[in-house]
Structure 1
Amino acid sequence: MGRIAAGDGESYARSISTSSNVEIRRRTRVTDIAQRVAKLMWQWAAHIVRRKDGRWGPKVLEWQPRTGKRSVGRPPKRWTDDIKRVAGIR
C-alpha cells in the first residue's frame, strides 16, 4: 500500500473497518490464536505420548476423575476431552 491522499483517509478507514477478521489476518500474515493454541496443544500431546521414562506426563493424560458424588453443575472439562473431541474419538 502506498501513501493515502488527504481526502482518501475517511474512505480508507471505512474500507478497513468493514474487512473481515480473516481478511485482516491474511493481509497482516498473523495467525489466529485459537489455531496456534490448538497446534501447540497437539505438539505437546505428541511429545508426552512419545516419552516412556516413567514421568508423570502420560499418567496425567490417562487420569480419570474421582468416583463418587460429583459437584453440582457442568462436569469438569479435562484436557484430554478436548483432544478426543478434535480427533473424533468417542
Structure 2
Amino acid sequence: MPEPIVTFNEETLKSDLRELVRRTVEDTLNGLLEEEAGDLVGAERYERTAEREAYRAGHYERSLTTSSGEVTIRMPKLKGMRFTTAIIERYRRRETSVEEA
C-alpha cells in the first residue's frame, strides 16, 4: 500500500479550529461593543464634536462563556452616561445556549 502523501493530526486540527472560532467570536463581540459605545457617545474615539453626549473612560475586561469557549470582552466605560448594551445582558456571564446545555 502506498504511503499517504499528506498526513495531519486530527486533534491538533480540531483544537486550532476551536481557537480560531473562539477568537473570531471574541473579536466580533468587542467590535460590536466599540460601535455601540461610539453610537451612544455621539463621536468616535478621539473625535471632537458638538453633539458629544459623554466621554470614553477606558475599558474593563469581563469573561463570557459561549458555546465556542470562554472569551474575554472589553466593556467600554463612559463618563457622563451609563453604558448599556443590547448585545450582552447586564451581569450575564454565560450565553443562553450554554445555560441550556
Tell me the TM-score normalised to structure 2 length: 0.32
Q: Which has the higher contact order (CA 8 A, sep 6+)?
A: 2
Tell me the TM-score normalised to structure 1 length: 0.35
Q: Rg larger in 1 or in 2?
A: 1
Query: Which structure is higher in helix share?
Result: 1
